[in-house]
Structure 1
Amino acid sequence: MRQPLNSQIEFLLHQGRQLSKAGSYEDAIAYFDKALERYPNWYIGWYERGKALQQLKQYEPAIASFKEVIVLKFDFAPAWHNQGMILAKLGRYEEAIASYDRALDLYANNYKAWYNRGNALMKLGSISQALYCYEETLKLKPDYARGWYNRAIALTQLRRYEEAIVSYDKALKSRPHFSDAHYNQGNLFYRLGRYAEALVCYERVLRIKSDLPEVWYNYANILHKLGSYEQALESYDKAIVLHSNHEAWYSRGNTLEVLCLYEEAIASYQQALTLEPDLPEALHNQGRAYQHLGFYEEAIARYDQSLALQPEFHEAWISRGIALRKIRQYEAAIASFDRALTIHPTCADSWYRRGRALEYLGQTEGAIKSYDQALSLNPQFDKAWYSRGVSLGRLGRHQAAIESYDKALALNAHFPNATSSRSLSVKSLQQT
């Protein structure tokens, strides 16, 4: 029920509201204060004053104003609702929910109160309860894009991904240029491995807002996964222009490495390391690029730096072993492969490479045992079958060697070394 006021108070209220609408909140508060000096029990004045303070982010004084409203008119639902919003801003989520509950007890059809209650519950990690609030919101206002959007976030956290996708669609039906919804839906498609659909979402975001580095970055990541490396590189460059960060430089380096642009990859990894020096993956990949260029000592130095940061990085131990074998430090290479196997004993590649190093040391029986370990873990490992055949041939066990070559050729018919080595074993067998 509207409070009866004299014409002067009505004028002050009108002026204050007009100033609030114009964004002149401090001037508006001055008008409300004048009115409240003359009429301190005027709950509408306290409410309007609280809203203006809320806009100025003067949250504690705003709460004090809303409390005055509640003292004067306990059943005034908007004051409870606005108090809840401020308490949520201050991170006082339990108190905020209690305020929203009061507002909803007084007026259950306030969709914004249901929505804000859901947001507070999300902050507390009460996802299922938040979802219920968003669904109540949408019963009252089915075209509320924010409600569908936050419902989708809750469903994603509950791993109900297909329902989340539909919820984003509903948000976008109500608000087609809702860039955050396009972006989140793209991220969800990305998580599900539905890369083509994710690309479409990111493209829609970029048509609306082309200056979002995180969108260009994710777009580039998907292009890389789909093998569109040149386009991925362009997208990483756009992301970096907007926001230079170590993740983008690192991922750009990966793409350059796939394109065999090793010197540029090294430079990109170096940029990542300038921004984040303690990045073992970048050091490892930089070492790998040096190795591709034949700079094995440089590569080993990078692997050592990587391992100093992350001693259990088994891929770095493998790469280090490969580089050491290239410079004929076979025993050191075997020690590196052994360390990798201590960390990851079921890595077929480590067993295979260990066998190669043993073969170079003339420890053929040991090499065969390593290849056998590799093949027990991965029977489809054509190179291991081939190398096993070579070792068996060296021991004069040509029939067993032929069987190994046959296994390699069954897995990879276009394996010239296996074909020629098999022919030599056949010839040797015929001569015995």
Structure 2
Amino acid sequence: MEWIEMKEKTGSLAALSRLPSMRTRASGPLIALIALAALCSCALAQENTAEDWFNRGQELMDNESYEEALRAYDSAIELDPEDARFWMGKGDTQMRMGDYDEYLVTYEKALDLINESLEANPLDAEGWFVKGELLDRLYRYDGALESYNRSLEIDPTDKEVWFEKGNALDTAAVFQTQDPERIRAYEDAIIAYDEALKLDPDYGNAWMGKGYSLSNLAASNDDLVKFNESLKAFDKAIKLIPDNDTVNLAFAWEGRAVALSNIGDALEDAGREDEANASREEALESYDSAIELDPSFTGLEAQLNKAGDLAELGRYNESLDALDKLIETLPADFALFAASVLEVKGNVLEMMGDYEGAIIAFDRALEIDPSNMYAMQEKGSALQSLGRISEAEAAFAEAEELGYEE
């Protein structure tokens, strides 16, 4: 059974989904006043500067008011179309709304603008930071790291750049095919987060990032000591991240849940079944916190991972009900995520011995995402269990062609 592979993969999707925090030039209370004034007075709204509209867009994004945020960013762009941050904010909103084709185009536009700016001023630390954020969003992690390093060469005292460098290293590790390189990337990410924490020990997001990297590092060799260090980091993050920052709080709670779930796996491998189940039960509570805080984004992934832990606890019908409910409520643009949900459903049915049902689920997943090597591999396992050996061998061969490795 490859449910553990699935759980690790969805954890990686969470990392990919995390948007880097984009800086504004106004602090919290001022942003709130700007947004309130703009909402309450049309006449005043017309007098807003591009920066005001940008700050309002950020505030609306934080409140998950995506349509309004998009209009705010468009207003900022109309007043100042040369500021890459405004285009990046628009791209972030499009991503949250599921407009995947659109957000990539918007990010590329922002990247063109910041490249022009850096040609004119190559010692602009903030410009290199923005370029790093954009390359991060475009999944070009080597370029993002180079940009963050250029920014830090100019100004090594910027905690946010250290934080985003850690994020880029942690996410890039997912794509490393060799364990030594992956482990080194996680270790380097932890170093970057520690640099941010030296500058600000109460930086909640840096504690969260460190928690994820420690958890990922621990998962590479079932290191219970590292897992417990990651839990301490997540607990610290949950205490320090402001209550109104529901997106990052949700992400911290989900990280805590994934760590507890992986601890359960490690304990089970060590024959400590009761402790393993207790850890998974605690994980369910943390997933619920993530779901409550951010039901439309991080909460979707938390629901998927929660369903997996319910299955590990033998609560199969609850797991299937949760997966079916998740599929029904997913936005139409979340097709690839729907394929992952169907893959997990197939895994759960396989655990129950319903191999025919599992094959149907895997086939549905592959209809949506033909490149899903995990669904193809598990389809082979289900076929093998039914004695359909030639079909199983064909599925295993296709999974290997897609990149699956034991």
Q: Does 1:169 align with 2:149?
A: yes
Preserved contact between residue 348 and residue 375 of structure 1 (Cα < 8 Å) = yes
Distance in 1 (CA, whole Å) between partners of 2:355 and 2:191 is 44
* Residues 137 and 213 of structure 1, relative CA distance in 2, 3 Å threshold: same
**What is the CA distance between 1:61 and its match in structure 2?**
11
* Residues 60 and 225 of structure 1, relative CA distance in 2, 3 Å threshold: closer
Distance in 2 (CA, whole Å) between partners of 1:267 and 1:60 is 45
- Return the match for 1:318 from 334, 339, 350: 350
Provide, for residues 264-315 of structure 1, a one-character-per-residue CA deviation record: whole Å limited to 9, x for no partner. 2212221232344584543543543x5xxxxxxxx2xx01110122244010
- Bigger radius of gyration: 1
Q: Does 1:186 align with 2:169?
A: yes
* Residues 146 and 188 of structure 1, relative CA distance in 2, 3 Å threshold: farther
* Residues 235 and 160 of structure 1, relative CA distance in 2, 3 Å threshold: same
Distance in 2 (CA, whole Å) between partners of 1:305 and 1:157 is 35
* Residues 140 and 375 of structure 1, relative CA distance in 2, 3 Å threshold: closer
* Residues 304 and 182 of structure 1, relative CA distance in 2, 3 Å threshold: same
Distance in 2 (CA, whole Å) between partners of 1:181 and 1:275 is 25
Distance in 2 (CA, whole Å) between partners of 1:223 and 1:272 is 19
- Residue aligning to 1:135: 115
Preserved contact between residue 284 and residue 306 of structure 1 (Cα < 8 Å) = yes
**What is the CA distance between 1:165 and its match in structure 2?**
2.3
Q: Does 1:200 align with 2:188?
A: yes
- Residue aligning to 1:6: none
- Return the match for 2:320 from 297, 307, 322: 307
What does 1:222-241 correspond to in 2, within 5 Å?
A: 222-227=216-221, 229-241=223-235
What does 1:191-340 correspond to in 2, within 5 Å?
A: 191-193=174-176, 194-195=181-182, 196-209=184-197, 212-227=206-221, 229-242=223-236, 243=238, 245-259=253-267, 260=269, 261-276=272-287, 279=303, 281-288=305-312, 299=314, 302-311=315-324, 312=342, 313-321=345-353, 336-340=354-358
Farther off after superposition, 369-378 or 304-313? 369-378
**What is the CA distance between 1:148 and its match in structure 2?**
0.5
TM-score, length of structure 1 as denominator length: 0.52
**What is the CA distance between 1:185 and its match in structure 2?**
2.8
What does 1:18-417 correspond to in 2, within 5 Å?
A: 58-59=33-34, 83-91=49-57, 92-100=72-80, 117-125=83-91, 126-178=106-158, 179-193=162-176, 194-195=181-182, 196-209=184-197, 212-227=206-221, 229-242=223-236, 243=238, 245-259=253-267, 260=269, 261-276=272-287, 279=303, 281-288=305-312, 299=314, 302-311=315-324, 312=342, 313-321=345-353, 336-344=354-362, 346=376, 347-354=379-386, 369-378=387-396
- Residue aligning to 1:390: none
Partner amino acid for 1:252?
A: L
**What is the CA distance between 1:200 and its match in structure 2?**
0.8
Partner amino acid for 1:189?
A: A
* Residues 258 and 129 of structure 1, relative CA distance in 2, 3 Å threshold: same
Name structure 2 gaps, 5 residues minimum.
Answer: 1-25, 39-46, 58-71, 92-105, 239-251, 289-301, 325-341, 364-375, 400-406
* Residues 263 and 155 of structure 1, relative CA distance in 2, 3 Å threshold: same
The percent identity for this pair of structures is 17
* Residues 144 and 181 of structure 1, relative CA distance in 2, 3 Å threshold: farther
Preserved contact between residue 233 and residue 256 of structure 1 (Cα < 8 Å) = no
Counterpart secondary structure, 1:378: helix
**What is the CA distance between 1:171 and its match in structure 2?**
1.2
Distance in 2 (CA, whole Å) between partners of 1:56 and 1:338 is 55
For this pair of structures, how many residues does the alignment match?
Answer: 259
RMSD, matched Cα: 3.5
* Residues 145 and 185 of structure 1, relative CA distance in 2, 3 Å threshold: farther
TM-score, length of structure 2 as denominator length: 0.55
Distance in 2 (CA, whole Å) between partners of 1:96 and 1:380 is 49
**What is the CA distance between 1:57 and its match in structure 2?**
6.1
Provide, for residues 38-82 of structure 1, a one-character-per-residue CA deviation record: whole Å limited to 9, x for no partner. xxxxxxxxxxxxx9xx9686548999xxxxxxxxxxxxxxxx9x9
**What is the CA distance between 1:205 and its match in structure 2?**
1.4
Partner amino acid for 1:163?
A: G
* Residues 226 and 96 of structure 1, relative CA distance in 2, 3 Å threshold: same
